[in-house]
């Protein structure tokens, strides 16, 4: 294989650019636990489940040795902690991988292809300040939640100092808040990245490959939030159902789902809508000119028929970057949440009925 000097120089410049662009940023830490092997995400999920079961299994064993804890260990809540983290970490890795694939699919349509590597870096790398802010936000949310559950700061501190059992139970939400906060913050930033990417693309409504990857990426990004909402039903299995406990999740998570969908898609929708209107207007002018021509002119009727067909097809063109597959995927994701909640409610009612 022959490599020219200019190609070598281009590679060197690209490498130097990558070094500069990543020198002050760090890879998002939630991507690190997933090994670069076959079924790496599955191995990560299994590993988190095993660690979680070991931590809370020990807590359950210690609680069983104390009469004060007998029958009071909240196994469903701890199961939610472990299941949520085991879901969020590998799912976030999956979404980031799919986001890279969407960006690669859009690469041929970039006005400046040289920016592709820089955009890839922005997907999974963040500045130190972002890492600190997201961590502090998770700690603050955890402290507020612990304060509300405990009743006072002093009682919360006493619970944390009460030993391994209470400490493991109180620390669990911190890791859930941390993983969830990092995942949502990173995905929202990636949604904004694709929003800013729209003016940099040669979008053509007649070429779906130039815009459909954005819609697919937006749908996939909702998996973390919708999955976490579905897992909330685990906490219902251990006692009476308090419907109000799911309301904060709905209030907090639903706007995030809407933002993940609309932030990258809305500006693209406006571009596609404008292009369709322009194309329809051009087809209408062609039809008008064909109709004004003499009916015995060569090909006049054929031109009218062609213009009519073109106008009809243009009217049918979608102005949202979603194909049938993306719509079906999001519908299935969204349906899982109420189905899971309904299933958990039904199981709890059946168990209660049998015990009574």
Q: Residues 117-137: what's their mean pLDDT?
A: 92
pLDDT at 82 over 70: yes
Q: Which residue is associated with the tokens 């969204």?
A: 334
Pair of tokens at residue 138 = 């998770």
> Mind giving me the DSSP string for 314-350?
HHHS-SSS--HHHHHHHHHHHHHHHHHHHHHHHHHHH
Burial label for 264, CB within 10 Å (0-12, 13-18, 19+), is buried
Mean pLDDT on 153-182: 83
Q: What mean pLDDT do residues 151-174 have?
A: 79
Residue with tokens 């009727």: 301
pTM of the prediction?
0.83
Most confidently modeled of 10-14, 34-38, 229-233, 306-310? 34-38
Q: Between the CA atoms of 67, 72, 77 and 83, what dihedral angle is there, to the nearest 10 degrees?
A: 50
User: What integer pLDDT is reported at residue 342 of this predicted model?
Assistant: 75
**Higher per-residue confidence, 300 vs 131:** 131
| Dist. CA 189–CA 126, nearest whole Å | 10
Positive or negative, the Cα torsion across 259, 260, 264, 269?
A: negative
CA distances from 296 to 100, 285, 292 (A): 57, 20, 11
What pLDDT, in 10s, does the model give residues 312-329? Answer: 888 888 899 998 888 888
* Phi, psi angle pair for 20, to nearest 5°: -65, -40
Tokens of 47: 């590993």
Cα-to-chain-centroid distance, residue 133: 20
Q: pLDDT value at position 345?
A: 67
pLDDT number for residue 18: 43
Q: How many CA atoms lie within 13 A of 9 on its CB side?
A: 3
Q: What is the pLDDT of residues 247-290, one digit of tens each?
A: 666 777 889 999 999 999 999 999 999 999 998 888 888 878 77
pLDDT of residue 296: 55
Measure the CA–CA gap between 54 and 326, rounded to whole angstroms. 39
Q: Which two tokens stand for residue 276?
A: 């369709």
**Spatial separation of the C-alpha atoms in residues 199 and 211, rounded to whole Å:** 12
């Amino acid at each position: 294989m022959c490599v020219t000097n200019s190609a070598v120089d281009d590679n060197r410049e690209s490498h130097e650019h990558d070094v500069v662009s990543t020198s002050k940023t760090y890879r998002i830490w939630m991507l690190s636990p997933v090994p670069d092997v076959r079924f790496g995400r599955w191995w990560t999920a299994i590993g988190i489940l095993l660690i979680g079961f070991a931590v809370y299994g020990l807590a359950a064993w210690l609680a069983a040795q104390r009469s004060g804890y007998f029958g009071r260990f909240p196994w469903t809540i701890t199961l939610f902690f472990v299941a949520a983290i085991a879901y969020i970490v590998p799912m976030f890795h999956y979404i980031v991988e799919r986001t890279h694939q969407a960006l690669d699919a859009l690469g041929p349509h970039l006005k400046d292809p040289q920016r592709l590597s820089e955009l890839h870096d922005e997907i999974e790398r963040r500045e130190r300040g972002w890492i600190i802010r997201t961590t502090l936000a998770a700690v603050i949310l955890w402290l507020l939640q612990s304060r509300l559950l405990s009743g006072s700061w002093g009682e919360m501190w006493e619970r944390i100092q009460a030993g391994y059992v209470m400490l493991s139970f109180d620390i669990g939400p911190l890791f859930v808040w941390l993983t969830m906060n990092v995942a949502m913050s990173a995905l929202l930033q990636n949604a904004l990245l694709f929003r800013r990417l729209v003016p940099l693309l040669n979008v053509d409504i007649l070429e779906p490959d130039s815009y459909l990857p954005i819609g697919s990426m937006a749908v996939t990004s909702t998996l973390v939030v919708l999955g976490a909402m579905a897992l909330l039903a685990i906490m219902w299995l251990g006692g009476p159902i308090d419907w109000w406990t799911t309301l904060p999740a709905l209030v907090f998570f639903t706007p995030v789902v809407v933002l993940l969908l609309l932030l990258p898609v809305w500006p693209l929708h406006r571009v596609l809508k404008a292009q369709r209107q322009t194309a329809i207007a051009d087809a209408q002018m062609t039809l008008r000119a064909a109709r004004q021509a003499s009916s015995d002119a060569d090909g006049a009727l054929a031109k009218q028929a062609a213009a009519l067909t073109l106008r009809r097809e243009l009217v049918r063109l979608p102005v949202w970057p979603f194909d049938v597959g993306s719509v079906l995927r999001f519908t299935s994701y969204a349906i899982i949440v109420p189905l899971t909640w309904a299933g958990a409610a039904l199981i709890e009612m059946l168990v209660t009925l049998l015990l009574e």
